[in-house]
Amino acid sequence: MKNTVKKILCLVLALSVVACFAACTGTQNNETTAGNADDVTYTVGICQLVQHVALDAATEGFQAALKEKLGDKVTFSVQNASGENTNCTTICGQFVADKVDLIMANATGALAAAAAATEEIPVVGTSITDYASALGITDWTGKTGFNVTGASDLAPLDQQAAMIKELCPDAETVGILYCSTEANSKYQSDVITEDLEALGLTVKVFTFVDSNDIISVTTQAAEECDVLFAPTDNQVASNVEAINNVLEPMNIPLVAGEAGICEGCGIATLSISYYDMGYAAGMMAYEILVNDADPATMEIQYSTELTKQYMSARCEALGITVPDTYEALDAE
């Protein structure tokens, strides 16, 4: 009997030790899990189509937003595709292989490559004029319905058309200049053509393939038109010096879709802040990374702050009178 009692006491004691150990282990695991939650880090891959002022500002704003929210818990792999869509494909493929937590796609070529590369990793776009055109979505609702969202650089095209009429009231023919490989540029061209024609202006469209034919196409446009319009086109932005070298001696004004192009070869623009747009995209990325927001259901964001800007030296040289509602881009 004594042996039986002793065995029972030993068994109870053993079970108590096991229970205590399990409880302690569970507590340690919870603490470790909590500690890991606090120490979560994120890797964001940034694919930028080409280096120029506007896209650089968007990337800067995007990084600033995430750094502000996450500090050293976020690291970036910033890759520049040098204007080649094939490079965007390679870059985004590597991001997927590296299992980054999120891809930021800066410009249309980068967005298309990122969307094609993954259906799982969230993609946030920036410097995209029209997401429907960029992604081939026909039933556009304001959100993509899959793993892509972002911010747009579109300024109202009817207001840009009105600006052309306001600054060049004697113009009869407007030439639209853009790269034929950029879907967003074609979208802008199609929309503003209707707006310009509604104002009684004749519109001619001039497209180039790359930097090899941009001078000849710009020359033809300048010979046939009174004023040119260039949308938010990355190839135009990368070749503003060449375009200006054609337009300046011919005294042909150009109204630009964004400030960087305007500074390089234009007279005026209806401008948004690409830094602010990138910042907005960064805040969207934060919501996805930290708060599990679903990019499929996130509305594309548009800038509400628009500024009429002009290049005072070029306007003066061309004898263009600029209303007081414009701000000088080249002010000292």
Taken in order 52, 246, 232, 121, the sign of the CA dihedral is negative
Confidence of residue 2 (pLDDT cuts 50, 70, 90): very low
pTM over 0.85: no
Residues 228-237: what's their mean pLDDT? 95
Q: What percent of the chain has a predicted confidence (pLDDT) above 90?
A: 84
pLDDT of residue 204: 98
Joined tokens for residue 183 = 């879907």
pLDDT digits (tens, 9 = 90+) for 263-291: 999 999 998 999 999 999 999 999 999 99
CATH of 157-271+307-328 given 1.20.120.550, 3.40.50.1240, 3.40.50.2300, 3.40.50.300: 3.40.50.2300
Residue 325 has pLDDT above 60, yes or no: yes
How many whole angstroms separate alpha carbon 59 and alpha carbon 277?
9
pLDDT of residue 271: 87
Residues 226-239: what's their mean pLDDT? 96
pLDDT of residue 80: 97
Other beta carbons within 10 Å of 248: 13
How many whole angstroms separate alpha carbon 40 and alpha carbon 70?
10
pLDDT of residue 279: 98
How many whole angstroms separate alpha carbon 94 and alpha carbon 114?
10
| Domain covering 42-153+273-299, topology | Rossmann fold (3.40.50)
Q: Which of 276, 273, 176 minimizes the C-alpha distance to 227?
A: 176
Q: CB–CB of 238/305 below 8 Å?
A: no
Residue 222 has pLDDT above 50, yes or no: yes
How many whole angstroms separate alpha carbon 51 and alpha carbon 134?
20
pLDDT digits (tens, 9 = 90+) for 6-49: 444 444 444 443 343 334 433 333 333 333 456 899 999 999 99
Q: What percent of the chain has a predicted confidence (pLDDT) above 70?
A: 88
pLDDT of residue 332: 56
pLDDT digits (tens, 9 = 90+) for 114-169: 999 999 999 999 999 999 999 999 999 999 999 999 999 999 999 999 999 999 99
Pairing of strands 173-179, 227-230: parallel
Rounded to an integer, what is the distance from CA 186 to the centroid of its chain? 17
Q: Where are the domains of the chain?
A: 42-153+273-299, 157-271+307-328
Residues 231-256: what's their mean pLDDT? 96
pLDDT-wise least confident of 2-16, 80-94, 281-295? 2-16
Q: Which of 130, 185, 148, 108 minimizes the C-alpha distance to 302?
A: 130
Q: CB–CB of 34/244 below 8 Å?
A: no
SS (H, E, C) the chain: CHHHHHHHHHHHHHHHHHHHHHHHHHHHHHHHHHHHHHCCCEEEEEEECCCCHHHHHHHHHHHHHHHHHHHHHEEEEEEECCCCHHHHHHHHHHHHHHCCCEEEEECHHHHHHHHHHCCCCCEEEEEECCHHHHHCCCCCCCCCCCCEEEEECCCCHHHHHHHHHHHCCCCCEEEEEEECCCHHHHHHHHHHHHHHHHCCCEEEEEEECCCCCHHHHHHHHHHHCCEEEECCCHHHHHCHHHHHHHHHHHCCCEEECCHHHHHHHCCEEEECCHHHHHHHHHHHHHHHHHHCCCHHHCCCEECCCCEEEECHHHHHHHCCCCCCCCEECCCC
**Mean pLDDT, the chain, whole residue set:** 90
Pairing of strands 301-302, 307-310: unpaired
pLDDT of residue 304: 85
How many whole angstroms separate alpha carbon 71 and alpha carbon 65?
10
How many whole angstroms separate alpha carbon 242 and alpha carbon 214?
8
pLDDT of residue 63: 98
pLDDT of residue 39: 80
Asked if domains 42-153+273-299 and 157-271+307-328 share a fold, the reply is yes
pLDDT-wise least confident of 37-51, 185-199, 306-320? 37-51
Rounded-to-10 torsion of CA 276, 274, 87, 111: 60
Residues 241-261: what's their mean pLDDT? 97
How many whole angstroms separate alpha carbon 169 and alpha carbon 41?
56
